Copies of this chain bind each other. A is one copy, B any other.
Amino acid sequence: MTGRFTVTYHVRCPATEIEARARGIAVEQSVEMPLAAIADETVLSDIVGAVEGIGDVGDGVFAVRIGLAIATAGQDAGQLLNMVFGNTSLHNDVALHDIAVPDSLVRLFGGPRHGLAALRSRLNASGRAMTGSALKPQGLPPEKLAHLAGQLALGGLDFIKDDHGLADQAYSPFAGRVAACAEAVACGARSTGHPTRYVPSLTGDLDALRAQARLARSLGLDCAMLAPMICGFPAMQALVRDFPDMAFFAHPSMGGAARIAPDLLIGTLFRLMGADAVIFPSFGGRFGYARETCGRLADRARGTGDGMRAALPVPAGGMTLERTGEILDFYGDDTMLLIGGNLLMAGDQIAAETERFTRTVSDRGSHRPAS
């Protein structure tokens, strides 16, 4: 790989200092040493970051475009993060705003192996948004989570995912819990005739992630969830490569703590690393992402101009049945609406309430042919 790719940072600093700051970032994110101490001509010409432009975006913030050498990213997803924001993340007046992902990195990381259209196809879900809910609370034993999973499946959901807190805890070990939930969802799906998917959350180191993915596969599951900022980008890269038959949902846990633009991190980078669906906190829920941020994030997830498959955007985090219309009007049909806690409020009427949810979404669908 040769050439450069452009990374855009938003830097808060006085106008008189921005040119020096820009040069500083270009050095920090490449050779990290005084240029005067570099004798090697190739390093100076090909490796040192280059300031490509500076724009004033207002409110004392400047957009700084730096060209970084593609070769420095190597073949590793972690090293890509390291090169675009490793040390500069330590400057609290700099945010990582955007990355123009070059074709060579698109080919290297590959993006979604299945993506939005394949998920639609698996679920026979054409011409409407997709639906999902989450198994919770953590602390329940496997049989209670499985009972809940069965009730949700009877409501005709497309996806039932683990809450991201469910891991491999003593009170609900992964193997027993996932087997019980998979069986309950399969049972519900046989009853409704709708091929509802159960999406277990995979946690731990790469050994554990692989063992859990193998177990999920052996139970007939073809979807799983990961939290890239918890397991690490390198582990995600490996898992997506090793389990090409599985569709991966990316969870944003720990993602908001990074001063990385959410639409870039979740909409672009998670998808680049192979997420088939990206879960994110929607505006109007319990979290603080602005409506415009959510719109950009969803557009990036679904964009295909870069040669990768579209990923399924999954707005979540405090969604309610009452907001279904508003949410779908905003995101459109190429979306999965995830309602968790709000459905669980229905108590022993969960199956009926879930059915009301799935019917509402279906009724609002344009019922275009599957894209």
Residues A89 and B287 in contact, CB atoms below 8 Å apart: no
A187 part of interface (Cβ distance < 8 Å): no
Interface status of A256 (Cβ within 8 A of chain B): yes
A32 interface residue per 8 A CB criterion = yes
- B89 engages A253 (CB within 8 Å): yes
How many residues of A are counted as interface, with CB atoms below 8 angstroms from the partner's CB atoms?
88
A344 at the interface (CB under 8 A from B): yes
Q: A28, A85, A230, A257 — which one has the most chain B CB atoms within 10 A of its CB?
A: A257
User: Do the beta carbons of B170 and A254 come within 8 Å of each other?
Assistant: no
**Minimum Cβ distance to chain B for residue A210 (Å):** 9
| Stretch with Cβ within 8 A of B (4 or more), from A201-209, A300-308, A326-334 | A201-209
Is A137 touching B32 in the complex (CB atoms < 8 A)?
yes
Please, which residue of chain B has its CB at the minimum distance from the CB of A96? Answer: B257
Asked, given contacts A165-B83, A204-B234, whether A136 binds B72 with beta carbons under 8 Å apart, the answer is no
- Answer whether A230 and B82 are a contact pair too, CB < 8 Å, given A43-B139, A71-B169, A237-B205: yes
Residues from chain B with Cβ under 8 Å of A30 in the complex: 137-139, 165
Distance between Cα atoms of A102 and B136 in the complex (Å): 26
The one of B87, B139, B234 in contact with A235, judged by C-beta atoms closer than 8 angstroms, is B234
Interface presence of A232 (CB below 8 A): yes
| A92 nearest CB neighbor, chain B only | B288
Assess the A137–B43 pair: CB atoms within 8 A. yes
Q: Which of A279-328 contact B (CB under 8 A)?
A: 281, 286-289, 317
Q: Which of A34-42, A54-62, A105-113, A124-132 contacts B (4 or more CB under 8 A)?
A: A34-42
CB–CB A204/B76 < 8 A: yes
A231 vs B76: C-alpha distance when bound (angstroms): 10
A320 to B255, CA, bound (A): 35
For A91, list chain B residues within 8 Å (CB). Answer: 256, 287-288
- Whether A136 touches B253, Cβ cut-off 8 Å, given contacts A167-B74, A232-B231, is no
Contact pattern, A 334-359, Cβ under 8 Å of B = 1, otherwise 0: 00000011101101000000000000
Q: Which of A47, A87, A92 has the most CB of B within 10 A?
A: A87
Q: Known interface pairs A204-B234, A230-B86. Does A257 touch B260 (Cβ–Cβ under 8 Å)?
A: yes
How far apart sit A341 and B92, CA to CA, in the bound complex (Å)? Answer: 22
Q: Is A24 an interface residue (CB 8 A)?
A: yes
Query: Do the beta carbons of B254 and A89 come within 8 Å of each other?
Result: yes
Q: Does A252 contact B (CB under 8 A)?
A: yes
Q: A361 to nearest B CB, angstroms?
A: 21
Check B46–A139 contact: CB distance below 8 A. yes
